């Protein structure tokens, strides 16, 4: 099955491990990703705050590319997915925008979770798992943009989403229930309000520790960056040691599939998951 692929800026830079592990997992499932030719930035996370036209124009150009391919498009980054879906909805409701951007809305805009959490693919994940993640206690962290605004993102449940839970369960991990799976980590405030990011991220990390999770798992590059890179600062500020690995769910797919590239992906993390996974006999 072919799906058009929109990596977006972050997956070609700071979240390259998400791009690589996403492509690897898709290939394992028999999905052919056709990267949009000459794609452009979707405008996340600032265009919709500063320019109403660019808010739609930037992602519209990428939607038009997917339309030309005639394939549903998947955007692994939560922010990119939101911007593409928001543009598709706005164009459908505005005749002037339709004249400017003749996107017909006949193709679907999928999140990474949607693509993998399809019932048949979850069953396939279970079948393909060569190294079940037994003994690994994880908390799924969806963050804000995977579920909000619900009228645009259309999650399975905006308060208690279960798509990632099902994927992790299929991989054999112990999915720990916790109350913060959709709370905010501070998002794009990392530079402008670092104090806020430290406060919000610490709250999430504290709860992960309280429920005795071995690791946090996410699909959002912004969430992963905040939670992974800020632990040293939080440790220094509090005097307590924070060393909780924050993994992409597709990296854990790689572990379950015994993909030899996983150590390369883990090398990009500030808090390396290698010691944890080795202690569980998973790598």
pLDDT in tens, 254-282: 999 999 999 999 999 999 999 999 999 99
Q: Is the pTM of this model over 0.85?
A: yes
Q: What does the mean pLDDT of the chain come to?
A: 96
Separation between Cα atoms, residue 274 and residue 283, nearest integer Å: 8
Helix (H, G, I), strand (E, B) or coil at 175: strand
Distance of CA 73 to the CA centre of its chain: 15
Question: What pLDDT score does 27 carry?
Answer: 98
Question: What pLDDT score does 191 carry?
Answer: 80
- Helical H runs in the chain? 8-11, 16-28, 47-50, 52-69, 78-93, 95-100, 112-117, 119-128, 150-153, 163-170, 194-210, 221-229, 231-238, 249-256, 262-266, 274-279
Tokens at 191, concatenated: 């530079």
Tokens at 189, concatenated: 């405030």
Question: What pLDDT score does 49 carry?
Answer: 75
Question: What pLDDT score does 57 carry?
Answer: 96
Tokens at 109, concatenated: 């805009």
Question: What pLDDT score does 277 carry?
Answer: 98
List, in sequence order, every residue forming a beta bridge with 248; answer none if it has no partner: 218
Separation between Cα atoms, residue 80 and residue 10, nearest integer Å: 9
Question: What pLDDT score does 204 carry?
Answer: 98
CATH of 2-113, one of 2.60.40.180, 1.10.150.20, 3.10.20.600, 1.20.1050.140: 1.20.1050.140
Question: What pLDDT score does 238 carry?
Answer: 96
Separation between Cα atoms, residue 60 and residue 252, nearest integer Å: 32
Q: Is the pLDDT of residue 29 over 80?
A: yes
Question: What pLDDT score does 234 carry?
Answer: 97
Residue indicated by tokens 């569980």: 280
Q: Where are the domains of the chain?
A: 2-113, 129-279
Distance of CA 2 to the CA centre of its chain: 20
Q: Is the pLDDT of residue 32 over 90?
A: yes
Tokens at 181, concatenated: 């799976």
CA-closest candidate to residue 31, choices 104, 128, 155, 105: 128
Half-sphere exposure of 10 (CA within 13 A, CB side): 21
Question: What pLDDT score does 46 carry?
Answer: 77
Q: Does domain 129-279 have CATH number 3.40.50.11810?
A: yes
pLDDT in tens, 41-96: 999 877 777 888 999 999 999 999 999 999 999 999 999 999 999 999 999 999 99
pLDDT in tens, 141-153: 999 999 999 999 9
Helix (H, G, I), strand (E, B) or coil at 125: helix
List, in sequence order, every residue forming a beta bridge with 216; answer none if it has no partner: 139, 246
pLDDT in tens, 181-226: 999 999 888 888 999 999 999 999 999 999 999 999 999 999 999 9
Helix (H, G, I), strand (E, B) or coil at 73: strand
Report CA Rg, the chain.
19
Separation between Cα atoms, residue 60 and residue 39, nearest integer Å: 11
Separation between Cα atoms, residue 22 and residue 171, nearest integer Å: 15
Question: What pLDDT score does 188 carry?
Answer: 82
Q: Is the pLDDT of residue 30 over 90?
A: yes
Separation between Cα atoms, residue 162 and residue 210, nearest integer Å: 21
């Amino acid at each position: 099955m072919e799906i058009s692929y929109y990596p977006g800026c972050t997956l070609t830079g700071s979240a390259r491990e998400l791009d690589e592990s996403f492509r690897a997992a898709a290939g394992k499932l028999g999905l052919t990703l056709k990267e949009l030719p000459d794609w452009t930035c979707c405008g996340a996370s600032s265009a919709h705050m500063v320019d109403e036209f660019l808010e739609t124009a930037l992602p519209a150009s990428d939607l038009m590319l997917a339309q030309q391919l005639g394939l549903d498009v998947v955007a692994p980054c939560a922010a990119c997915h939101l911007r593409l879906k928001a543009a598709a909805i706005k164009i459908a409701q505005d005749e002037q925008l339709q004249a400017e951007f003749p996107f017909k809305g006949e193709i679907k805009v999928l999140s990474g979770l949607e693509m993998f959490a399809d019932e048949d693919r979850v069953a396939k994940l279970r079948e393909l798992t060569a190294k079940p993640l037994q003994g690994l206690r994880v908390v799924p962290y969806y963050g804000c943009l995977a579920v909000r605004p619900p009228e645009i993102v259309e999650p399975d449940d905006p308060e208690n989403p279960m798509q990632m839970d099902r994927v992790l369960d299929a991989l054999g991990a112990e999915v720990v229930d916790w109350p913060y799976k959709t709370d905010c980590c501070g998002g794009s405030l990392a530079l402008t309000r670092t104090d806020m990011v430290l406060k919000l991220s610490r709250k999430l990390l504290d709860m992960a520790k309280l429920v005795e999770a071995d690791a946090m798992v996410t699909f959002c590059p912004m969430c992963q960056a905040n939670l992974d890179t800020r632990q040293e600062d939080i440790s220094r500020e509090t005097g307590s040691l924070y060393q909780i690995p924050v993994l992409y769910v597709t990296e854990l797919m790689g572990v379950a599939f015994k993909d030899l590239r996983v150590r390369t992906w883990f090398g990009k993390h500030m808090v390396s998951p290698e010691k944890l996974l080795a202690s569980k006999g998973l790598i």
